[in-house]
Structure 1
Amino acid sequence: MEPKWLEWAKQLQSIAQAGLTYSKDIYDIERFEMIREISSDILAQHTEIEQTVIKDLFANETGYATPKVDIRAVVFKDNKILMVKENGDGKWALPGGWGDIGLSPGEVAVNEVKEEAGYDVEVSKLISVFDKAKHDHPPSPYHVYKMFILCEIIGGQAQEGIETSAVEFFGEDELPPLSVARNTESQINIAFQHLQNPKQPVYFD
């Protein structure tokens, strides 16, 4: 699903980041800086992200380049799925966010549901690991793995958080406008498959 220009830009960034981390020769470092600049130019030309923002994102990354991890909590109630309205784009997503250092994926899912939707949940199982590049998301400067984790409500009540403006449950045939940078309709459909068939195997890629 990911366009070739984006794949190439991220590969160039990965090469540049590794080179800048491990190179000692000043001329090699200069060449890797040039590769990083080309990667930033490609992203700026094909996305709405400002070049200065792209450069800042890349400049903060050091060491060997690895994918980022995004955790999404899947919570059902009365055959409907829990979603939150994102302040950033005014659209709807499963509660979630970047994985946190020091927390397991399950702990991140539990925290995100509480912070964004107000509910207390416990983790049930992993239902999917998506490679964002293989799904219909808008272009992103990062390579991202998205983990969807099934959770069960054990307490709390609906309450929006700092980053959310509404909390609601939706049936599979009544999904609201989705924040497709965070989750796509096909991914939500896969989540509903686990509701209908609890023995459904983990989806990956």
Structure 2
Amino acid sequence: MSQTSKQHSFLYKNGLGLLFVGLFIVTLAAQALTGWYQHNAELEEQQAALLSLAAYLQSGHFISATFENFESEFLQMALYVVLTVGLRQKGSAESKSLDEPEEVDREPQPGPDAPWPVRKGGLILKLYENSLSITFGILFVASWVLHFYGSWVDHNEEQLSKGLAPDTIGGYLAQANFWFETFQNWQSEFLSIASIVLLTIFLRQKGSPESKPVDAPHSETGK
């Protein structure tokens, strides 16, 4: 580590991560509060008992809304990590070079500063080589399950409030409502990926690692 980097403050070295974690916490809290007020307003219209904030956080309404969004984000990241290994987009800052070898494709070499799995080798290394996509895949599946559970619980609470019989898991899975919630989020994530891949061919943001240099030709692929 250089002397210059040692002098950087903790906030300077971790500002990007801290900012987004902070924004996540603030907006999740805001979602919980506004969702609580909205849901209680709906319950009041139905002349049903209102929920405390603690009860709302365990309700199908909150669980479904929260993990519906998590699910689509983790799907986006999982696909993006995996598909950029083999697919290319000419001119995009988000693509690997069409012809030149990339640093990320080199075989891992054990060394004193290498992560422990690289020094261990074998199966541990194979898992570590794909640990990012595996983790995003697990988070996606877990979020999908929780989204479905929350949506099913919320749906059955609404059914009971109308004097109708609740649906089984299989019965609800066969209905359009859950899949409508799912696909409306997935399509927005696919659009955002297409946007960053294609817009970085022609547009620039000086200083951003997600952009090509301002003077780079449109045909140049990669950063």
TM-score per shorter chain, which class?
under 0.3
TM-score, L = length of structure 2? 0.24
TM-score, L = length of structure 1? 0.26
Which structure is richer in relative contact order (CA contacts within 8 A, separation 6 or more)? 2
Higher helix share: 2
Larger Rg: 2
Higher strand share: 1
